[in-house]
Amino acid sequence: MAPFREVRDPGGSGTTAPRSVSTEAGHDRDLSLGAGPHFDLRLSPDPGPAPHSGSRSNDGGRDSGPGQKSAFADLPESSSADTQLIRRTLAEIEPISDKVTSYFYALLFVRHPHLRELFPAAMDAQRDRLFKALLTAARKADEPEVLDEYLTHLGQGHRKYGTLPEHYPAVGESLLGALARYTPGSWSEATEAAWVRAYTVISQVMIDAAAENEQYAPAWWQAEIVSHELRTPDIAVVTVRPDQPYPFLAGQYTSLETPWWPRVWRHYSFASAPRSDGLLSFHVKAVPAGWVSSALVHHATAGDVIRLGSPAGSMVVDHATDSGLLCLGGGTGIAPIKALVEDVAVHGRQRPVEVFYGARSDHDLYDIETMTRLEREHPWLSVRSVISDGPTSGLSGQLPDAVRQYGPWNTYDAYLSGPPGLIRSGVSTLRGIGIPSHRIRHDSLEELVGAAR
């Protein structure tokens, strides 16, 4: 069978991948897009503009138009039966996901050795991300808008890895091969057909999003380090000059690859609002045995060239309102908060901005001088430091507890940045004191798990 034979290449470059590899189960039906009984699952019959154009709010300001529709909105009734089958597979493999992941990559690289070079040399830490995303997508099948936005961003982000439309069938076949092998009790023709349909739609969204993004953005930017300032023994402020204009919004982050660890990408927040000289700054904390952060803090120097992916993240200021901003920044999480403050200053609308800056000790408040300078310059800004361990002239305790002592915050929009634990406890505290979740913005928690700041 050829389960993923015709994932459409919207770029029209003729790269549609003819594939004919059986899955472990060896069924023999043609489930490709546009053919056979599953014809109705096509996303769009025209190879015209991608249906996902600008459908994200975190792509540097390109918002959805009113007519935008999720690729998943048109799925037929039978898709709920598919969801059931897919969820059954997921429940079965959850306890053994490590084994399934290993087998998935083994299949991928044995059958398609040329794809190995797209991935980092050592894949232990990040290995399960691709696989987990497939599972996440399958899980979110009944939240079409959320899923569409997630996959659009994912597809755009894959351009920097060198992913091409013809690679998708290979990944799909390996996924099905791994699932079939580890769910022998429940894998059936119907289950396989459900996974093929889901994977085909997922791939199409990602492929379309990448093609659409190609029209206005490079796959990556080269950026030369122009200054490197060590603020503490393990925190550096790294400033780079991109080789071409880099559009982003204050509060967003990027993915970054260093020359020392090819194909290893990590996220870092922009530490300033967009600047007239086009330079970008990052605050990087070296984590113990951390590949990219240690390289950036301890090895990088002016003249080194790094690569940047597209901007991402929805922790941006809504300039259509005058609501106050309540900002919680822990550790290097103060970097995007500083960018937000600069953004408010640039827009010239007076609105209260209350910053709570958390660290373990006074010594770890590496950017407090910048923050207090901003506070002196702007009467609408208030900055409070919160120290969790040890003596301080500022506030003592956990950041969310300190925030709770002030307020009321019911007219404020909240912004959180820092380690995943801070985001979780901060969100829970803020919701507890009555800030509705749609007014709380933070870095992607999913991405943050496993990362540190």
Please give the residue ranges that form the binding site for ligand HEM (CB under 6 A). Answer: 115, 118-120, 123, 126, 129-130, 133-134, 137, 154, 157-158, 161, 163, 167-168, 171, 202-203, 206, 265
Judged by CB under 6 A, the number of residues near ligand FAD is: 28
If the CB atoms of residues 116 and 347 are measured against ligand HEM, the closer one turns out to be 116
Does position 453 bind ligand FAD by CB under 6 A? yes
Nearest to 265 by CA among 165, 167, 161: 161
Q: Rank residues 150 and 168 by Cβ distance to ligand FAD and give the closer one.
A: 150
Q: Is 441 in the site for ligand FAD (CB under 6 A)?
A: no
Nearer to ligand HEM, 147 or 327 (CB): 147
**Structural tokens at position 166:** 């013809």
Minimum distance between the CB of residue 164 and ligand HEM, rounded to whole angstroms?
7
Q: What residue 443 binds from ligand HEM, ligand FAD, none (CB within 5 to 8 A, per partner kind)?
A: ligand FAD
330-349 residues near ligand FAD, rule: CB under 6 A: 332, 335
The least CB distance from residue 297 to ligand FAD, in Å, is: 8
Beta carbon of residue 129, minimum distance to ligand FAD (angstroms, whole number): 11
User: Cis peptide before 408, with omega less than 30 degrees from 0?
Assistant: yes
SS3 annotation, the chain: CCCCCCCCCCCCCCCCCCCCCCCCCCCCCCCCCCCHHHHHHCCCCCCCCCCCCCCCCCCCCCCCCCCCCCCCCCCCCHHHHHHHHHHHHHHHHHHHHHHHHHHHHHHHHHHCHHHHHHCCCCCCCCCHHHHHHHHHHHHHHHCHHHHHHHHHHHHHHHHHHCCCCCHHHHHHHHHHHHHHHHCCCCCCHHHHHHHHHHHHHHHHHHHHHHHHHHCCCCCCEEEEEEEEEEEECCEEEEEEEECCCCCCCCCCEEEEECCCCCCCEEEEECCCCCCCCCCEEEEEECCCCCHHHHHHHHHCCCCCEEEECCCECCCCCCCCCCCEEEEEEEHHHHHHHHHHHHHHHHHCCCCCEEEEEEECCHHHCCCHHHHHHHHHHCCCEEEEEEECCCCCCCEECCHHHHHHHCCCCCCEEEEEECCHHHHHHHHHHHHHCCCCHHHEEECCHHHHCCCCC
Among 198, 386, 403, 448, binds ligand FAD (CB under 6 A): 448
With CB under 5 to 8 Å by kind, the binding choice for 444 among ligand FAD, ligand HEM, none is: ligand FAD
Q: Is 267 in the site for ligand FAD (CB under 6 A)?
A: yes
Task: Report the partner that residue 96 touches, choosing among ligand FAD, ligand HEM, none (CB closer than 5 to 8 A by kind).
Answer: none
Tell whether residue 288 is a contact of ligand FAD (CB under 6 A). yes
Q: How far apart are CA 393 and CA 365, in angstroms?
A: 12
Q: Of ligand FAD, ligand HEM, none, which one sits near residue 289, judging by CB under 5 to 8 A according to partner kind?
A: ligand FAD
Which residues, 118 to 157, sit near ligand FAD by CB under 6 A? 125
Partner from ligand FAD, ligand HEM, none contacting 178, C-beta within 5 to 8 A by type:
none
Contacted entry of ligand FAD, ligand HEM, none for residue 292, CB cut-off 5 to 8 Å set by kind: ligand FAD
Q: Which of 227, 291, 362, 401 touches ligand FAD by CB under 6 A? A: 291
Name which of 176 and 315 has its Cβ closer to ligand HEM. Answer: 176
Between 182 and 265, name the residue whose CB sits nearer to ligand HEM. Answer: 265
> Which residue number, 91 or 449, has a Cβ lying nearer to ligand FAD?
449
Comparing every residue's Cβ against ligand HEM, the nearest one is 133
Buried b (16+ CB within 10 A) or exposed e, 147-163: bbbbbbbbbbbbbbbeb
Closest CB to ligand HEM among 7 and 337? 7
Report the residue number, 200 or 252, with the smaller CB distance to ligand FAD: 252
Nearest distance, CB of residue 293 and ligand FAD, angstroms: 3
Question: Letter for the amino acid at 244?
Answer: Q
Q: Based on the shown chain and the rule CB under 6 A, indicate whether residue 233 belongs to the binding site for ligand FAD.
A: no
* Contacting positions for ligand FAD (CB under 6 A): 125, 253, 266-269, 282-285, 287-294, 332, 335, 443-444, 447-448, 450-453
